[in-house]
Amino acid sequence: MKQAWTVLSSELEKQKKLTDTLIMSMTHERYKNKLSRIRTPETMATALSFILALLILVNFSKYNTIFLAASALFAAAYLIVMPVLSLRLIRHLENLDITGNHYKQVLTDYALRKRKLLSFQKLNVYLGFVLLVVTLPVMVRIMGRETPIPAQVWYWYLPLGGVCFAAFARGVYRYYAGVAHQAENLLKELQE
């Protein structure tokens, strides 16, 4: 195998392809890509969450029961805090210290940060179900309709929401379990 690799390497040496212009345009293009992060889906979703949180808070005077007020506060807090934390953890995972650390340290940092992000995203899913429940009365109030919401609405909203949420959560759990397993295996392998 080493022989084959040596032959490969010597073939590559004969075929220099990069030009000066191409090398420098790579660095400029990547730099522009970093700046374009502001248009990434997570940032747009965060902006939307903030708008919804603002909508909930601006209508605070309409929540005339403790339950409604508490639901509104929970929903607003979730819509502000969770996206910000999510973005921070994603950026933290992406901003590994490539230049200052060894391969082993970068791998360790990557696995630990990935594990943290996955734990957070699992929590996000569970709290998301709570948001699903509290959002309905809050939104009904914002739209100027009377609460309490008739029981018939809850009879279809909760089961339907629960089924959709369970299907979503199951898929999410499987994905997280797989990725978390990879991160744990990586950490175990590094410690051998």
Partner 1 sequence: MPNAQEFVRVIKENEGIIFKIASVYCRDGDDQKDLYQEIVYQLWRSFDSFRNESKISTWMYRIALNTSISHLQKAKRRGTAVPIDRVVLDMMDPADTVMEERVSLLYAQIRALSTVEKGIVLLYLEGKSYEEVAAITGFSKTNIGTRLNRIKEKLRSQIKPQELWSLKK
Distance, in Å, from the CA atom of 117 to the CA atom of 109, rounded to the nearest integer, reads 12
Question: In the numeric block, which tokens belong to residue 167?
Answer: 């299907």
Alpha-carbon separation of residue 3 from 11, 12, 13, 14, 16 (angstroms)? 13, 14, 15, 17, 21
Cα–chain center distance at 52: 18
Work out whether 66 is an interface residue with partner 1 (CB under 8 A): no
41, burial (CB in 10 Å: exposed 0-12, middle 13-18, buried 19+): exposed
Q: Quick one: which of 40, 43, 65, 119 contacts partner 1 (CB under 8 A)?
A: 40
Q: Quick one: which of 52, 69, 140, 186 contacts partner 1 (CB under 8 A)?
A: 186
Work out whether 4 is an interface residue with partner 1 (CB under 8 A): yes
Q: Given the rule CB under 8 A, which of 6-14, 66-74, 145-153, 156-164 is the region that contacts partner 1?
A: 6-14
Q: Give residues 85-104 in contact with partner 1 (rule: CB under 8 A).
A: 93-94, 96, 98-99, 101-104
Work out whether 38 is an interface residue with partner 1 (CB under 8 A): no
Question: In the numeric block, which tokens belong to residue 23?
Answer: 């090398």
Site residues, partner 1 (CB under 8 A) = 1-9, 11-13, 15-18, 20, 22-27, 29-33, 36, 40, 93-94, 96, 98-99, 101-107, 110, 114, 185-186, 189-190, 192
